[in-house]
């Protein structure tokens, strides 16, 4: 699972672009207890979701021309410009070229070979989110893509990510970890988009997982708040109880009640 001991290639920021920021604020506030703080009058509506006075995510209003409401996962880069060039050389695209966010850091938005957007965050004064891997915060990310080997090759070339297989009855799951830290720093996975026709219909994407203490109660609360259940809560042996949701504007995310770590 994720921590805030960020290394290159690991997720270190996340934000949601939404057609209705007030509705998103109410939804995530009711679901996770997050409070929203504006980044100021010059930030274009951007702000920060906070939990117990720690930043867990960002949020901003977007127009239909900017794309559908969605969560964007950002990966740490010590040189956003070089990483963006590597993405272009690997047949990806640069959607937003690297730009400075005051003295807080440098950001960019890229797309992989399948067209899936993802971000880069080169830390300045802000290393990344202030909490991860705890209830109400980001704990895992998962790429749903039409070609797992091609995606693994792309992210290895661009971000240095390593993959490994976890086998289970009937198949295998492709896990992802940064080059530094090895499998102990594992933070996500890559899964075939075709495995779930409901997800395939809406195209490939990065799916963020948020840690919760009760997946079933969170699903019920999401529905009460106007969200949509894309996959009902189910147990994944050795992993936890997982559900896939969408907020009232359509941004997709997942929740998980992780299996407690076993004591040695």
Q: Are residues 38 and 64 in the same domain?
A: yes
Q: Are residues 17 and 116 in the same domain?
A: yes
Domain enclosing residue 15, as ranges? 11-123
- Residue 185's pLDDT is what? 86
pTM (predicted TM-score): 0.96
- Residue 262's pLDDT is what? 55
Q: Residue 75 and residue 9: Cα distance in Å, rounded? A: 5
In this prediction, residues 132-137 reach a mean pLDDT of 96
Name the token pair of 263: 């004591």
**DSSP symbols for 114-132:** T--EEEEEEESS--S-S--
Q: Residue 176 and residue 185: Cα distance in Å, rounded? A: 9
pLDDT above 60: residue 190: yes
* 106 occurs within a structural domain: yes
* 93 occurs within a structural domain: yes
pLDDT above 70: residue 182: no
Strand order in the sheet with 252-258: 162-168, 171-177, 188-192, 138-145, 205-211, 252-258, 240-246, 228-236
Percent pLDDT > 90 in the chain is 84
- Residue 229's pLDDT is what? 97
- Residue 261's pLDDT is what? 64
pLDDT above 70: residue 186: yes
H or E segment at 89? Answer: helix 80-89
Q: Residue 264 and residue 262: Cα distance in Å, rounded? A: 6
Q: Which DSSP symbol is given to 262?
A: P
Of the residues 123, 157, 183, which one is the last residue of a structural domain? 123
């Amino acid at each position: 699972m994720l921590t805030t001991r960020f290394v290159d290639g690991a997720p270190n920021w996340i934000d949601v672009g939404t057609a209705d920021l007030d509705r998103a604020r109410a939804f995530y506030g009711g679901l996770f207890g997050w409070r929203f703080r504006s980044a100021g009058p010059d930030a274009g509506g951007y702000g920060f979701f906070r939990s117990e006075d720690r930043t867990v995510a960002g949020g901003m209003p977007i127009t239909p021309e900017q794309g559908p409401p969605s969560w964007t996962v950002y990966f740490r880069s010590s040189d956003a410009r070089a990483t963006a060039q590597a993405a272009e050389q690997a047949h990806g695209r640069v959607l937003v070229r690297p730009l400075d966010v005051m003295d807080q850091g440098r950001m960019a938005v890229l797309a992989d070979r399948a067209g899936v957007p993802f971000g880069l965050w080169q830390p300045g004064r802000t290393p990344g989110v202030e909490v991860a891997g705890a209830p109400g915060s980001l704990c895992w990310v998962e790429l749903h893509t039409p070609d797992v080997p091609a995606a693994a090759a792309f992210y290895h070339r661009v971000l240095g990510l390593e993959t490994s297989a976890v086998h289970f009855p009937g198949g295998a799951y492709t896990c992802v970890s940064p080059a530094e830290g090895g499998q102990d720093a594992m933070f996500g996975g890559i899964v075939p988009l075709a495995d779930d026709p409901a997800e395939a219909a809406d195209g490939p994407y990065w799916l963020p997982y948020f840690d919760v203490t009760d997946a079933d109660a969170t699903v019920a609360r999401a529905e009460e708040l106007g969200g949509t259940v894309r996959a009902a809560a189910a147990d994944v042996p050795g992993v936890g109880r997982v559900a896939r949701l969408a907020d009232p504007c359509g941004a997709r995310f997942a929740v998980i009640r992780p299996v407690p770590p076993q004591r040695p």
